[in-house]
């Protein structure tokens, strides 16, 4: 199907990304999955190729084009190759926008060159052991002490938390009993800061090549100069970027669904059962036809939402619709593909098994499917 979303610059970037990933990332998929992370040196190599700083201004070593479509292309090519990206999607879609929007000139000069080069990977610490998706329930505190904040608390499920050189921490700087959303502030904690420690690298069902960590802050003294934006406005900042974060999750869902279909088509063509190819059975044809149709619907919905984002018209409810539909479609598609693999679909040596495990979390993080339904229902005045 013709896709008007991408232009020649994106296709040129696609060729660059595919060539790099094919040589530098895809051959290490099994190794990095077993290790539970992508090594820092791989991120540096990606940065050298210009893959991590497309949105960063040129004066800081980036491409100077803040365009969602470039990282979208990168994720498409990685999925085609089965190349794990580790913390790159969060670095590109989730954290870099905060630095681009909120950094002071001094902060930009300090942090953006490393962000663009891959020398400094980033993560964001919102979730806590007792709060989950409830941002208003954050208990990590940051108490002002002269020119520093003293940070105390714990965070969990932090994507990229092991490798991150910079961590944006959402912390409570004041309390308002009448407004739980007030009093939250974004503070950047740098690797090596005394009192900042990383706990376990969490073992997950899927997405195993992406490091996910517990982070602890014990009387961590962070300069006020490391605050992102204004004090007390973190809830506003965090929610304003949720649309982009949810589109990123939808991108992941769609490109992984495409990979599952392609791998399964190859499998059923080669698999011999009852004296012939598995692909000749009507049930196989119907299941793959249904999956292809769902994929096309999800991709068109996603591409349209990206167009709305680029035009500055994407609404929160629209992003919720896209995430809900694309992730639920991914789950159905990958499940069918596992079924068509039969017993081999349950063996870890087959990529479809990884795709199946990876798919489950997309309906949870970034706001669960149930939360998406509530947002959509609210837009209907229900």
- In sequence order, what E strands does the chain have? 122-125, 141-145, 148-159, 166-172, 184-190, 196-201, 212-223, 227-228, 272-273, 276-277
Environment class of 369 (CB within 10 Å of its CB; exposed 0-12, middle 13-18, buried 19+): middle
Q: Which of 76, 77, 214, 245 is catalytic?
A: 245
b or e along 33-49 (b: 16 or more beta carbons within 10 Å of the residue's beta carbon)? beebbbebebbebbbee
Residue 80 DSSP symbol? H
From CA 89, how far away is CA 255, in angstroms rounded? 13
From CA 219, how far away is CA 31, in angstroms rounded? 37
**Could you tell me if 96 and 228 are in contact, meaning their C-beta atoms sit under 8 angstroms apart?**
no
* Kind plus residue range of the DSSP H or E element containing 21: helix 8-24
Environment class of 282 (CB within 10 Å of its CB; exposed 0-12, middle 13-18, buried 19+): exposed
From CA 112, how far away is CA 157, in angstroms rounded? 25
Q: What is the 3-state secondary structure (H, E, C) of 248-294?
A: HHHHHHHHHHHHHHHHHHHHHHHCEECCEEHHHCHHHHHHHHHHHHH
Residues composing the chain: 382
| Axis-axis angle for helices 351-359, 242-270 (nearest 10) | 150
DSSP per residue, 296-310: HHHHHHHHHHHHHHH
C-alpha distances in Å from residue 99, one per residue of 105, 110, 123, 188: 11, 11, 11, 10
**Catalytic residue flag (residue 245):** yes
Question: Could you give the residue numbers annotated as active site?
Answer: 245
């Amino acid at each position: 199907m013709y896709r008007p979303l991408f232009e020649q610059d994106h296709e040129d970037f696609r060729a660059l990304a595919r060539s790099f990933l094919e040589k530098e990332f895809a051959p290490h998929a099994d190794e990095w999955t077993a290790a539970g992370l992508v090594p820092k040196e791989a991120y540096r190599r990606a940065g050298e190729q210009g893959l991590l700083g497309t949105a960063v201004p040129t004066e800081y070593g980036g491409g100077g084009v803040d365009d969602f479509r470039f990282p979208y292309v990168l994720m498409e090519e990685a999925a085609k190759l089965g190349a794990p990206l580790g913390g790159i999607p969060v670095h590109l879609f989730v954290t870099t926008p905060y630095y681009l929007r909120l950094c002071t000139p001094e902060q930009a000069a300090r942090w953006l060159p490393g962000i663009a080069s891959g020398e400094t990977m980033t993560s964001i610490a919102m979730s806590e052991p007792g709060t989950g998706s409830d941002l208003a329930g954050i208990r990590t505190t940051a108490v002002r002490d002269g020119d520093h904040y003293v940070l105390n608390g714990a965070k969990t499920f932090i994507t990229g938390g092991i490798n991150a050189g910079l961590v944006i921490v959402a912390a409570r700087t004041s309390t308002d009993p009448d407004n739980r959303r007030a009093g939250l502030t974004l503070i950047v904690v740098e690797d090596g800061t005394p009192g900042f420690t990383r706990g376990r690298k969490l073992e997950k069902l899927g997405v195993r090549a992406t490091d996910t960590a517990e982070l602890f802050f014990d009387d961590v003294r962070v300069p006020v100069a490391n605050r992102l934006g204004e004090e007390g406005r973190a809830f506003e900042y965090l929610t304003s970027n949720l649309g982009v974060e949810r589109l990123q999750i939808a991108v992941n869902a769609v490109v992984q669904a495409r990979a599952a279909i392609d791998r399964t088509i190859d499998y059923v063509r080669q698999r011999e059962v009852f004296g012939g190819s598995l692909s000749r059975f009507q049930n196989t044809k119907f299941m793959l036809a249904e999956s292809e149709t769902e994929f096309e619907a999800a991709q068109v919905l996603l591409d349209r939402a990206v167009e709305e984002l680029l035009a500055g018209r994407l609404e929160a409810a629209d992003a919720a619709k896209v995430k809900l539909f694309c992730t639920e479609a991914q789950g159905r598609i990958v499940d069918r593909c596992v079924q068509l693999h039969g017993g081999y679909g349950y063996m870890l040596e087959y990529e479809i098994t990884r795709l199946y495990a990876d798919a489950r979390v997309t309906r949870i993080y970034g706001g669960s499917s149930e939360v998406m339904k509530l947002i959509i229902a609210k837009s209907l005045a229900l």
